[in-house]
Amino acid sequence: MSQRLRVEGLSKTFHGRGSWRTGRTAAVHAVDDVSLTIEPGQTLALVGESGCGKSTLVRTIAGIYQASAGHIFVGDTDISQRRALRRHRRAVQLVPQNPLSSLNRSRSIRHALTQPLRVHRIGADTAEQERRAATLLERVGLSADYLPRLPVGMSVGELQRVVVARALAIEPSVLLLDEPTSSVDLTTKARIMNLLLDVQRSFDLTCMIITHEIDIARHLSHRMAVMYLGRIVEYGPTEEVFNRPRHPYTRMLVASASASGPLVNADAAPVPVGEVPRAASQVDGCAFRPRCPHTADVCGSVPLLRPAGTSQAACHRLDEIGADS
């Protein structure tokens, strides 16, 4: 049974070595005060350019990183506390970006699928665990013939199916997917997208998909959140965000997406200037300010998410900029 995933005020800061001149420690605010909610059985897509903090956010939710601040709830349980870590690891599973690197190349697919069953004591004996492993492979479109095979030599699409099956082995209620369609050809991408849609419906999962491809997000998700330098800048129903982007950064992403249909008034969306700043850079006020074509004095303070149609956007000048329609 799927459960609601709720993130409240989540932050993750990394501290590097300090400067020998000043003695100050460099701090990277990879995730900065993020709040999100995913309703049971629905999918949220988190989009943004590389380096914006998407993977750090999902790894923090998955328990790989300890949050610097904030809370993570699955249902009514706060899983951001260390004492809830074991239950957390079963309730929330992560499908990593590179499937081959997440598998032991010297161990079989059988080992990859039965190991989490042994760790979580699922299945009465080894024979039942192997039957479960074979069933999982069939559920993701592979046969039991893959059980004795090694990951080396398998295609990216096959490996992606294996890591999805492994994540499903312990019956999680929340599935996190980090760039599931990156670095694959169009045919494999289509197959993975169909797999994810089937898995989400068949297992009644609450899902978060991390991607930099906004057209993929549109196809797979019910709601979309746009992230820039650690903060959510726009958040709402997927079709609303895609068809009526409010934040200047979202408008840039949508205008550059390879969608099946052209965005109305896409040519009218001003192009941001300059390069994406480093995560360690300190920007006073709105983080998008150095690149935004609409910047003004008011942008010297940090904008908060506020209603914009059926969405929310973090921009001081929403009323003046308007939205594509």
pLDDT computed for residue 13 by the predictor: 93
- Does any domain span residue 104? no
pLDDT (tens digit, 9 = 90+) per residue, 203-220? 889 999 999 888 889 999
Task: Decide: 293 and 271 in contact? Cβ < 8 Å.
Answer: yes
- Does any domain span residue 125? no
pLDDT computed for residue 260 by the predictor: 42
pLDDT computed for residue 265 by the predictor: 43
How far apart, in whole angstroms, are the C-alpha atoms of residue 100 and residue 141? Answer: 18
pLDDT level of residue 267 (50, 70, 90 thresholds): very low
How far apart, in whole angstroms, are the C-alpha atoms of residue 325 and residue 312? Answer: 16
Structure tokens at 123: 């299945």
Strand duo 92-95 + 43-47: pairing: unpaired
How far apart, in whole angstroms, are the C-alpha atoms of residue 81 and residue 79? Answer: 5
pLDDT computed for residue 168 by the predictor: 94
- Mean pLDDT confidence for 159-172: 93
- Residue 245 predicted with pLDDT over 70: yes
- Does any domain span residue 280? yes
pLDDT computed for residue 18 by the predictor: 57
- Mean pLDDT confidence for 10-20: 77
- Does any domain span residue 295? yes
| 75: amino acid identity, one letter | G
Mean pLDDT of the chain: 86
- Does any domain span residue 31? no
- Does any domain span residue 320? yes
- Mean pLDDT confidence for 55-68: 92
- Mean pLDDT confidence for 115-142: 92
pLDDT (tens digit, 9 = 90+) per residue, 69-116? 999 999 988 888 767 666 677 889 999 988 888 999 999 999 999 999
- Mean pLDDT confidence for 51-80: 91
Q: What percent of the chain has pLDDT over 90?
A: 56
- Does any domain span residue 293? yes
Task: Decide: 31 and 227 in contact? Cβ < 8 Å.
Answer: no
- Residue 261 predicted with pLDDT over 80: no
**Domain limits for position 312:** 243-325
How far apart, in whole angstroms, are the C-alpha atoms of residue 41 and residue 315? Answer: 30
| Three-state SS at 297 | helix
Pick 77 or 325 by higher pLDDT.
Answer: 77
Cα radius of gyration rounded to whole Å, the chain:
21
Choose from 18-22, 131-135, 193-197 the range with maximum mean pLDDT: 131-135
The angle at the Cα of 84, spanning 82 to 86, to the nearest 5 degrees, equals 100
pLDDT computed for residue 319 by the predictor: 85
Per the structure, how many domains does the chain have? 1
- Which CA distances in Å does 313 have to 187, 249, 289? 34, 10, 15
Pick 148 or 295 by higher pLDDT.
Answer: 148
- Does any domain span residue 8? no
- Nearest Cα to Cα of residue 119 among 160, 162, 90: 90
How far apart, in whole angstroms, are the C-alpha atoms of residue 211 and residue 49? Answer: 9
pLDDT computed for residue 140 by the predictor: 92
The answer to which of 24-38, 64-78, 221-235, 278-292 has the lowest mean pLDDT is 278-292
- Mean pLDDT confidence for 142-159: 93
pLDDT computed for residue 81 by the predictor: 74
pLDDT computed for residue 1 by the predictor: 59
pTM: 0.87
**DSSP characters over 193-261:** HHHHHHHHHHTT-EEEEEES-HHHHHHH-SEEEEEETTEEEEEEEHHHHHHS--SHHHHHHHHH---SS
How far apart, in whole angstroms, are the C-alpha atoms of residue 252 and residue 182? Answer: 20
